[in-house]
Amino acid sequence: MSAPAPSVPSAPEVRGRLDLADVQAVKALVDETTAADGTAPLSEHVLLHLAAGGDADTRNLLLRDGGRVVAYAHLDVTDAVEGSSAELVVAPGSRGRGYGRAFVESLLEQSPDGRLRLWAHGDLPAAGRLATSLGFRRSRVLFQMRRPLTGEPFPEVRLPDGVAVRTFEVGRDEQAWTDLNNRAFADHPDQGGWSLEEVALREREPWFDPKGFFLAERGGRLVGSHWTKVHGGHGSHDHDRTEPAHPDSDHHDHPPIGEVYIVAVDPSEQGRGLGPALTLLGLHSLRSRGLDSVLLYVDESNAAAVRVYERLGFTRHAVDVMYTRG
Contacts of 270 (CB under 8 A, 6+ apart): none
pLDDT of residue 9: 55
Using CA atoms, how far apart are residues 65 and 98, in angstroms rounded to an integer? 13
What is the reported pLDDT for 202?
Answer: 92
Separation between Cα atoms, residue 29 and residue 68, nearest integer Å: 9
Q: Which of 30, 81, 79, 29 is nearest to 240 (CA)?
A: 30
- pLDDT of the residue at 247: 37
Would you give per-residue pLDDT tens digits along the chain (326 residues)? 444 444 445 678 888 889 999 999 999 999 999 898 888 888 888 888 888 787 777 899 999 988 899 999 999 988 877 889 999 999 999 998 889 999 999 999 999 999 999 999 988 888 899 999 999 999 999 999 999 999 888 899 999 999 999 999 999 999 999 999 999 999 887 788 899 999 998 999 889 999 999 999 999 999 999 999 998 754 333 333 333 333 333 444 457 899 999 999 999 999 899 999 999 999 999 999 999 999 999 999 989 889 989 988 999 998 999 999 98
What's the rounded Cα separation, in Å, for the pair 209 and 238? Answer: 13
Separation CA 207–CA 236 (nearest Å): 9
Q: Which domains does the chain have, with CATH numbers?
A: 13-135 (3.40.630.30), 145-318 (3.40.630.30)
**Between the CA atoms of 52, 55, 60 and 66, what dihedral angle is there, to the nearest 10 degrees?**
10
Which residues are within 8 A (CB) of 168 and not within 5 positions of it... i.e. 6 or more apart?
177, 210, 213, 214, 215, 225, 227
Give phi and psi for 210, each to the nearest 5.
-60, -20
The answer to whether the pTM exceeds 0.85 is no
Contact 168, 174 (CB under 8 A): no
User: CA angle, 316 as apex, 314 and 317 as ends, to 5°?
Assistant: 110
State residue 145's pLDDT score: 95
By three-state DSSP, how is residue 92 classified? helix
> Which residues are bridge partners to 84 per DSSP?
116
